[in-house]
Structure 1
Amino acid sequence: MPRPRLCRKVSATPKSTYFKPRGVPLGDLGETRLSVEGLEALKLSDLESLTTSEAAQRMGVSRHTFGRILAEARRAVADALVNAQALRIEGGEYAVAEQSRAPERQRTVSMNIVAVSAEGPMLTDTVDSRFGRAAGFVVVDLDTTDTRYIDNGQSQAMAHGAGIQTAERIADAGAGVLLTGIVGPKAFRALEAAGIKVGLNLEGLTVGEAVERYKSGRVPFADGPNK
């Protein structure tokens, strides 16, 4: 007896369920179907750049099952584009996941809490030029002068999406300011969405020197990525 198929978790129902070539009457079009879980797989893999393991965990399926869902979704989209078909998004075996992480998005960040990408946990350690794959971050509370260290080893091991994951980690720490060397476009957008101001090109300084430069007003905030 075959095992029952697991219901795949999706973050939300589709914003739009039908796409067609412009200027072609519906009666003249063939139609390709994309399942709702297929759309979710495309979002996680191709838009959010998650690894297969991460995306599979998010959807509550095995890596093999996720790979098959993704392959079918890509084939449906390719068919619609190459053969000028209409694309209908519907059906499948899915459930909208509870938005348990939603309250986390309401987190508060403070401009007096500064996170510095660092090669070690001390103020005397050098600023790590990388953001997403930095060894870790020294977080300094300017009001109390307390410091703590956030290890970033998990993001270092990621094949994709390290910058986005690291931005989440910085926001969770309550930091409103990031001091680092280089930040790419996706990571910068994630930091910006979290309300975190970014100071760039600080490699070569120690963590303490970078913090003192920020306190003296000599760190301009970036308006875009530098990678």
Structure 2
Amino acid sequence: MPRPRHCRYVSARPSVTYFKPRGIPLTALEEACLSVEGLEALRLADMEGLTAIEAARHMRVSRHSFGRTLAAARRTVATALCRGQALRIEGGTYAVAASCPSAADKEKEQMQKIAVSSEGPTLDDAVDPRFGRAGGFVVVDLPDMTISYIDNGASQTMSMGAGIETAERVARAGVEVVLSGYVGPKAFEALTAAGIKVCQNVEGISVGEAVERFRKGEYPYADAPNK
């Protein structure tokens, strides 16, 4: 069964939804369909000039998901232009960000426990970019910011299976979201199976900074492991 598609957030619904070649009746034209989130990806990347990471944050998806959405949108537009097709903009899996910020905020508030891979047991320690072989995890209870620590030393000495063992360890602690740098395929699968959401590419900052950025919505949930 395919994994359910994550909602893409767009700034607004398009006011113009149809383009056609001049002088050719509609009855004589084939159509190409561009999704609303595809149009948003084009706007962010090609009109606003945002990087993939910046644009992905706007749409609240992973960088890889944004890249796939953008590539599909560019292909659709190129096909319409090269083949002289009409272009219809409709459909997709999206929500208007301005109309539903409270829904996103409520989701963050309901996440009671987040675990950040860490080089030490405090909010001041640096994020460990490794998931499976991280030294440990600072577990933060939201919204009151009480913390606890999961020691992950046993997984660091394993020759194989460290990611799965670590995923099981954080799942037993009741963690609902993991923030880390690199989460491999097997670890990602184990976390997903346990119902734990994953935010990737978190590194080069302290645990406390990572938590604050998460609370501001700067880290999208990943829908695939790191490549």
Q: TM-score, normalised by structure 2?
A: 0.51
Larger radius of gyration: 1
How do 1:36-75 and structure 2 match up within 5 A? none
2: CA distance between counterparts of 1:205 and 1:215?
15
Residue 179 (structure 2) aligns with: 179
Residue 127 (structure 2) aligns with: 127
Q: Shift of residue 205 of structure 1?
A: 1.1
Residue 221 (structure 1) aligns with: 221
Any stretches of 5+ residues in structure 2 without a counterpart?
Answer: 1-109
Q: Which amino acid aligns with 2:222?
A: A
Q: Which amino acid aligns with 2:134?
A: A
Residue 196 (structure 2) aligns with: 196
Q: Shift of residue 111 of structure 1?
A: 1.9
Residue 157 (structure 1) aligns with: 157
Q: Which amino acid aligns with 1:186?
A: K
Q: Tell me the number of residue pairs that the alignment of Structure 1 and Structure 2 aligns.
A: 118
Q: Which amino acid aligns with 2:154?
A: Q
Q: Shift of residue 223 of structure 1?
A: 0.6
Q: Which amino acid aligns with 1:136?
A: G
Residues 134-160 of structure 1: per-residue CA shift (max 9 Å, x gap): 000000001332101111000001111
Residue 69 (structure 1) aligns with: none
1: CA distance between counterparts of 2:184 and 2:216?
26
Secondary structure (helix, strand or coil) at the match of 2:112 reads: strand
Secondary structure (helix, strand or coil) at the match of 1:147 reads: strand
1: CA distance between counterparts of 2:205 and 2:112?
20
Q: Which amino acid aligns with 1:195?
A: G
Q: Shift of residue 195 of structure 1?
A: 0.5
Any stretches of 5+ residues in structure 1 without a counterpart?
Answer: 1-109
Secondary structure (helix, strand or coil) at the match of 1:175 reads: coil
1: CA distance between counterparts of 2:204 and 2:215?
18
Residue 206 (structure 2) aligns with: 206
Q: Shift of residue 114 of structure 1?
A: 0.4
Residues 102-142 of structure 1: per-residue CA shift (max 9 Å, x gap): xxxxxxxx722000000001101100000000000000001
1: CA distance between counterparts of 2:146 and 2:212?
14
2: CA distance between counterparts of 1:112 and 1:138?
13
Residue 136 (structure 1) aligns with: 136
Secondary structure (helix, strand or coil) at the match of 2:190 reads: helix
Q: Shift of residue 171 of structure 1?
A: 0.6
Q: Which amino acid aligns with 1:206?
A: S
2: CA distance between counterparts of 1:198 and 1:166?
13
Q: TM-score, normalised by structure 1?
A: 0.51
How do 1:75-86 and structure 2 match up within 5 A? none
1:148 aligns with 2:154: no
Secondary structure (helix, strand or coil) at the match of 1:188 reads: helix
2: CA distance between counterparts of 1:186 and 1:149?
23
Identity of aligned residues (%): 64
